[in-house]
Amino acid sequence: MLTKIQDLVKEGKLRLVLAVGVPRGGTTVFQRILTESPDITVQLDEPFYYKENGFNKGLANILKRYKEFSSTKDSKPITLLVQEMANSLNHQEWDELLKLSYGCIVLIRDMHRTCESLVIRTINDSIAKGLDTFVQLEVEQKLLFATKQLLDTTRYVKGSFSKTSWKALGEFIQYAEKHKSHIKFAFVDSDFLIIDTENILRDLAEKLEISYVNSMLQGWGKTSKNFWVNPEKDARHC
């Protein structure tokens, strides 16, 4: 699979754009916005985020999405926007993926705001399911689990790469530096994206050499474009 994707990239048939961040760091809403560009064919939501053999499964997901759209497109390359958490892959796996990538957007967010967002999301999910059906202890346990989920990566990545999400993102940035000669890099602060959306998106589109369209400003909701979600995403806490 890796060799096949390498060949597609070399032949100019496939372009990968990575959006890398931490849980509740704004990656999902960001990819929905960016996918409004006509130059983005399809977005993949955490294709490598599996408990076992994530790298190969992720490559299979990329190849499958490419095949789905390559028969319906003209001579333009198929551009896949891949959203992934920094702690999903180890150093060597990220290295292989970066070698294949056309662009990489790193999303950063204030640690306290990220934790706040995670707690609020957990509460909202509980309300949606019927908060009055949970006893107080169960609610507290859910909040504790949500915080641990953000801070701990050991549930997926084994070995020396098991670090907090922020440390994993910092290390990803460090070893991604050596690929900057062939990758179009951009850094986005998720909180500033809300404040200065249009200017940030226009600047980002220019850096990635993709088209900016006004519909990006309405991309906060469910995207109108092709959006593939990892089928294990909602079950991975089990």
Q: Report DSSP letters for 117-137, one per residue.
A: HHHHHHHHHHHHH-GGGS-HH
Nearest to 84 by CA among 60, 33, 48: 48
The pLDDT score that the predictor gives to residue 10 is 92
For residues 200-227, give the mean pLDDT. Answer: 79
Which structure tokens are listed for 68?
């789905």
Higher pLDDT, 212 or 24: 212
The pLDDT score that the predictor gives to residue 8 is 92
The pLDDT score that the predictor gives to residue 73 is 54
- Segment 65-124, tens digit of pLDDT: 888 888 665 667 889 999 898 888 888 899 999 999 999 999 888 777 776 776 676 666
Is residue 149 over pLDDT 90?
no
State which H helix or E strand residue 80 sits in.
strand 78-85
For helices 2-10 and 54-70, give the axis angle rounded to 10 degrees.
Answer: 40
Distance CA 3, CA 232 (A): 25
Question: Which of 60-74, 160-174, 186-200 has maximum average pLDDT?
Answer: 186-200
- pLDDT cut 90: percent of the chain above it: 18
- Segment 27-65, tens digit of pLDDT: 878 888 888 888 888 888 888 887 788 889 999 999 998
The pLDDT score that the predictor gives to residue 236 is 44
Identify the burial level of 214 via C-beta atoms within 10 angstroms of its C-beta, where 0-12 means exposed, 13-18 middle and 19 or more buried. Answer: exposed
Confidence of residue 203 (pLDDT cuts 50, 70, 90): very high
- Taking all residues of the chain, what is their mean pLDDT, rounded to a whole number? 77
The CATH architecture of the domain made up of 2-110+160-230 is 3-Layer(aba) Sandwich (3.40)
For residue 185, list its beta bridge partners.
104
- pLDDT cut 70: percent of the chain above it: 69
Residue 138's SS3 state is helix
CB 224, CB 32: distance < 8 Å: no
Confidence of residue 235 (pLDDT cuts 50, 70, 90): very low
